[in-house]
Amino acid sequence: MSGGAGTPGIDDAMAAVLFVGITLYATTGGADFGGGVWDLLAVRDRRGTGPREVIDRSVTAVWEANHVWLVFILVILWTAFPAAFAAVMTTLWIPMVIALFGIVLRGAGFAYRKEVRHLRARQATGIVFASSSLIAPFFFGAAVGGIAAGRVRTGFVTGLVSSWTSGFSILAGALFVAAGAFLSAVYLCTDTTAQGRLELRPYFVRRALAAGLVTGGIALGALFDLASTDARLYDHLTGRAVPLVVVSGLLGVTTLVQLARGCTAGTRPLAAGAVAAVVWGWGWAQYPDLLATSLPLRTGSAPTGTMDALLVVFALAVGLVLPSLGLLYYLATRQELGEDERDVAGAALVGAPQGGPPGQDPGPAGARRHPADGLLGLALAFGAGFTAGRRERPAGRRQGRRATRRRPARRRRR
């Protein structure tokens, strides 16, 4: 975030930290919402069962850790940029409340769905999980659209519905949903390989292609909308932020080409990078304003003591959280993590291998990608990590065995 007005200071660094959090949330938590969208769109009969199982296995172990990035964003925002936080949460009160309800219902619906056994109850909790996965990102997107378009101003403005109902806000909401669905479908493509559900790979490849095209279309549509409604943001996006916009487009197109060729091994970081570049494009277009036209970064920042503390927080995130995420990822790739079904069901688990050493398990399933993909995407967005994709493990080995025994065992019991 250097450049801008004068020499970059600690305020700029903290804005960058905030965007790191947003990027990680968008590329991991956003994809979890996307999983819910695909769950919602899968047909409600037996043909939808396979895709739902793949989605379920992919999201289970990681969604909570991914979700916490949202809390990270909020605490950085209210501590480092308190005035902007207060203004955003007041002016965009309605979309934030709706998104919040969506988040609660998504998480609870997903958690309960794992534990209820009765078919009806499973369907009910599943529908709650899936539909709220649509609601939450849409209203987050609409809110972010309002912020980007400069419709949130300092102070406590209430009743300003137009702050998030403009055409651009609606498009931004749709973009959030579509981008999440796109990321999710790309991740799920590789997860099918890892879970031994190769027959479902074309299913998700088709959806990833469709979602990618829709996402690109919405992004272009939003840009055209800005050309006529918001000259300032349009100029920034087509001016100084244009490299990021171009990078995003290139990565998106490359992802689609890779998908069409059926080669999904390297597509995850490409797709995550495409989304990350959009996030940073937004940030770069808005810089150095916290709230466009009304609150510059310098004015809206907390005192240096606070910023120093937050840098320590960021250092802890890098020094403690990232290695921990790496450990989770490493264990998942080594197939050292799996859903614990055997005990809970009692010994009724017919035929499941009982406590054999890792590796005997027939079907690998996926504690997957998320944290690492977010990081890889981030690296790509910085333009520093085009080689990062190489570090990604072959998809087949990245997967833990998490849910392998769960469903078959359960079905047998019923």
CB of 180 to other proteins, least distance (A): 17
Q: Which is nearer to other proteins, 95 or 385 (CB)?
A: 95
CB of 289 to other proteins, least distance (A): 18
Tokens describing residue 396: 């087949």
CB of 337 to other proteins, least distance (A): 4
Q: Which is nearer to other proteins, 225 or 339 (CB)?
A: 339
Peptide bond into 288 cis (omega under 30): yes
Amino acid making up residue 143: A
CB of 14 to other proteins, least distance (A): 11
CB of 206 to other proteins, least distance (A): 30
CB of 5 to other proteins, least distance (A): 22
Tokens 């392998």, residue located: 404
Residue 314 CA: distances (Å) to CA of 1, 20, 297: 16, 10, 19
Q: Which is nearer to other proteins, 140 or 282 (CB)?
A: 140
- DSSP one-letter string for 259-281: HHTT--TTHHHHHHHHHHHHHHH
Q: Which is nearer to other proteins, 45 or 343 (CB)?
A: 343
CB 228: neighbour CB atoms within 10 A? 9
Helix 201-229 crosses helix 267-286 at what angle (to 10 degrees)?
A: 10
- Residue 409: exposure state from Cβ atoms within 10 A (0-12, 13-18, ≥19): middle
Q: Which is nearer to other proteins, 265 or 345 (CB)?
A: 345
- DSSP one-letter string for 373-384: HHHHHHHHHTTS
Sign of CA dihedral 55, 60, 65, 71: positive
Q: Which is nearer to other proteins, 37 or 367 (CB)?
A: 367
